Structure 1
Amino acid sequence: MTAPVAPATPAVAASVFGDRLGLAERYAGILATRGVEWGLIGPREVGRLWDRHLLNSVAVASAIPAGVRVVDVGSGAGLPGIPLALARPDLSVTLLEPLLRRATFLTEAVDELGLGDRVRVVRGRAMGPDARDAMAHHDSYDAVTSRAVAPLPRLLDWCAPLLASSGVIVALKGASAADEVTDARAELKRYRLRASAESVSPYPGADPTWLVVCTR
């Protein structure tokens, strides 16, 4: 078992994760050890796992409705999908990851955290509805999330086909979020989506981060 890693800001973390703070600490421990060993987290990131990764990931929660099915595209080490699932126990979350090593890591993490009743790992790719690739994932979700996966024009080609008719795409982005929305005008029109770049504070006292929120 991986030992928990206590947050640097325990009061803030407790306000975000509530009675699941212990699970968040265990997940941070998994990232700080196996995540580094497997090359999913850089060694220099260990000291800022909470502020930069776990708590920052929860920024997407503000744009996701209650009780819906969510897919985290290109989940990697489980960011933002696992922190989102911990902060929002009302959600059913699918972690979609094409690479075997990362999917194995995610499966082990979900099992160790006891989240298997509402978090599943799918080894597959987000692709268009007509894709014939054996790993193409074609389910439909109420919300699609991503973090540091691709520029918005390319990301929409992957995420929009997974979106239910009234769903929402929520992408964690940097300060160039508004420019990405402009660059994705053709894709937004193709998928009949409206997009906005929104500055949000993922937790009290945090520096603002940016979301691109796309709806039909």
Structure 2
Amino acid sequence: MGLDGVAASVRTAASEVFGDRVELAAGYVELLEVHGVERGLIGPREVNRLWERHVLNSAVIGEQIPQGARVVDVGSGAGLPGVPLAISRPDLDIVLLEPMARRVDWLAEVAEKLKLSITVVRGRAEERQVREELGDADVVTARAVAPLARLASWCLPLVRSEGALVALKGASAAEEIERDRVAVRKAGGGEPEIFECGTKVLEVPSTVVVIHRLPSKPSRPRSRRS
């Protein structure tokens, strides 16, 4: 379907978000339409709402990502939010991190077919090798991966000092922050903040929780007893 057959408001939003790369975004949607369900990437009910619920919803979080940032998308799955970000923000250096081999294969196919300059890595954020390879990112993103406490413990170690975790969340964002604030602090994060992205182009804006990684405290030298 691409952009054919969708509401005029969705076509307008897609053009505003993706600009002259909107056909690339349409190509990504078509790949999801053809292969998403059979390869276990999306549910059958999601096929008719890919643009507004998934692709545009993901792309607009770029409002919270600085120019030229190095971004790691944790648990990328079908490529959300990493692929829409790569299309809408070609200035970003994006790594898609995914533990499942069949999804890694899918992401590599998408990158090749759409000629996107992204890196696909198989692994989990909590693995030492992954942290050594991908650590010091400016921004780590995640969508529908885990509750905030677990997400912070997995993702913040990949973030450079004063960089940020930008997590796509829904209506429960405030409740998660209240419940997991202490765990976020223990993981090295500052006070979580809620932002709405895409307010000018989407009927339902995307809700993100942004957590900056606090600078590491210098260790105190041990006092020597005489």
Q: TM-score, normalised by structure 2?
A: 0.86
User: What pairs up with 1:1-216 in 2 under 5 angstroms?
Assistant: 5-6=2-3, 8=6, 9-115=10-116, 118-127=117-126, 131=127, 136-138=130-132, 139-140=134-135, 141-190=137-186, 191-201=188-198, 204-215=201-212, 216=214
SS in 1 for 2:41: coil
Distance change >3 Å, CA 181–CA 22, structure 1 → 2: same
Q: Structure 1: where are the runs of 5+ without partners? A: none
In the alignment, the residues of structure 2 paired with residue 209 and residue 26 of structure 1 have an alpha-carbon distance, to the nearest angstrom, of 22
CA contact (8 A) 2:148 2:184 kept: no
- 1:62 deviation in Å? 1.0
CA contact (8 A) 2:57 2:205 kept: no
Deviation per residue, 1:165-210 (Å, 9 max, x gap): 1211100001110111112222222214221122333552421331
CA contact (8 A) 1:77 1:106 kept: yes
- Give RMSD over aligned pairs: 1.6
Runs of 4+ in 1 over 6 A off after TM superposition: none
> What is the total number of aligned residue pairs between the two structures?
206
Distance change >3 Å, CA 203–CA 122, structure 1 → 2: farther
SS in 2 for 1:24: helix
Distance change >3 Å, CA 189–CA 163, structure 1 → 2: same
| Structure having the higher Rg | 2
- 1:60 deviation in Å? 1.5
Task: Look up the equivalent residue of 2:185 and give its one-letter code.
Answer: K
In the alignment, the residues of structure 2 paired with residue 192 and residue 47 of structure 1 have an alpha-carbon distance, to the nearest angstrom, of 37
Deviation per residue, 1:41-73 (Å, 9 max, x gap): 112111100000000012311111110100000
Distance change >3 Å, CA 93–CA 19, structure 1 → 2: same
CA contact (8 A) 2:61 2:206 kept: no
